[in-house]
Amino acid sequence: MGTSRRRQFPTLVGVAVTGVAVAAVLGGLTNAVNGWVCPVFFLNVWQANWPYEWSLWRAAVAQGVLEGLLYGVGFALIYTTGVAVLSRGTCRYRPAVRPMKWIALGAVAGWVLGGFAGLQLAALRPDVYRSITPTETGVLRDIFADAWVFGSIWGIELGGLASVIVSLVLFTRQARIRSPFTA
């Protein structure tokens, strides 16, 4: 019994590393889009002057990868701990990472929904939005671009957390149907 559980530790480490990697890739990809949509957002957040637009975009992508790594560590810790507890340490790698595609899709859905929520806020109350995150120009187009980025970043973070929680609930239901998780 002890030997079996010891063999599962590398599996759980692999699940955690996979989760962190998925989050880093998602962070880089979504910030690649966000950096293209509104580079001014990142200038405002970093409060810095960048000499070239391309380097600002690269910095936005790198920031997305970094934040994806940081959030990925937290979410992977939650998810991997949940999988370990729910399977009593007996789950294999493939069944444990299978829900990650749904977690990633849920995070991307949160990114899109958050972006649209930011657009709605900017459309309904541009004066309130200007006070939250002022743009350099104040042009409505720039406000909408900034609102997309602002909302989408919150959306992917909340969507990722919600997806992790939902996937653990579904994993619990799967665990009741398929025992002992060795599929």
Q: Is the pLDDT at 46 greater than 90, yes or no?
A: no
Residue 24: pLDDT band by 50, 70, 90 thresholds? very high
* Domain range summary for the chain, segments of one domain joined by +: 2-177
DSSP string for the chain: -HHHHHHHHHHHHHHHHHHHHHHHHHHHHHHHHHHHH-HHHHHHHHT---S-HHHHHHHHHHHHHHHHHHHHHHHHHHHHHHHHHHTTT---HHHHHTTHHHHHHHHHHHHHHHHHHHHHHHHH-HHHHHHHS--SS--HHHHHHHHHHHHHHHHHHHHHHHHHHHHHHHHHHHHHHSTTS--
Average pLDDT rounded to a whole number, residues 110-119 = 94
pLDDT of 42 reads 78
Average pLDDT over residues 37-59: 72
What interhelical angle do 2-37 and 39-46 show, nearest 10? 110
The pLDDT score that the predictor gives to residue 3 is: 44
Got the DSSP string for 94-127?
HHHHTTHHHHHHHHHHHHHHHHHHHHHHHHH-HH
> Over pLDDT 70: what percentage of the chain?
79
pLDDT at 144: 84
Asked if pLDDT for residue 1 goes beyond 60, the answer is: no
Write the burial class of residue 76 (CB in 10 Å: 0-12 exposed, 13-18 middle, 19+ buried).
Answer: buried
Residue type, 130: R
* Res 132 pLDDT > 70: no
Higher-pLDDT residue of 137, 96: 96
Share of the chain above pLDDT 90, in %: 43
Calculate mean pLDDT across residues 100-116: 95
Structure confidence at residue 69 (pLDDT) = 96
- pLDDT surpassing 70 at residue 53: no
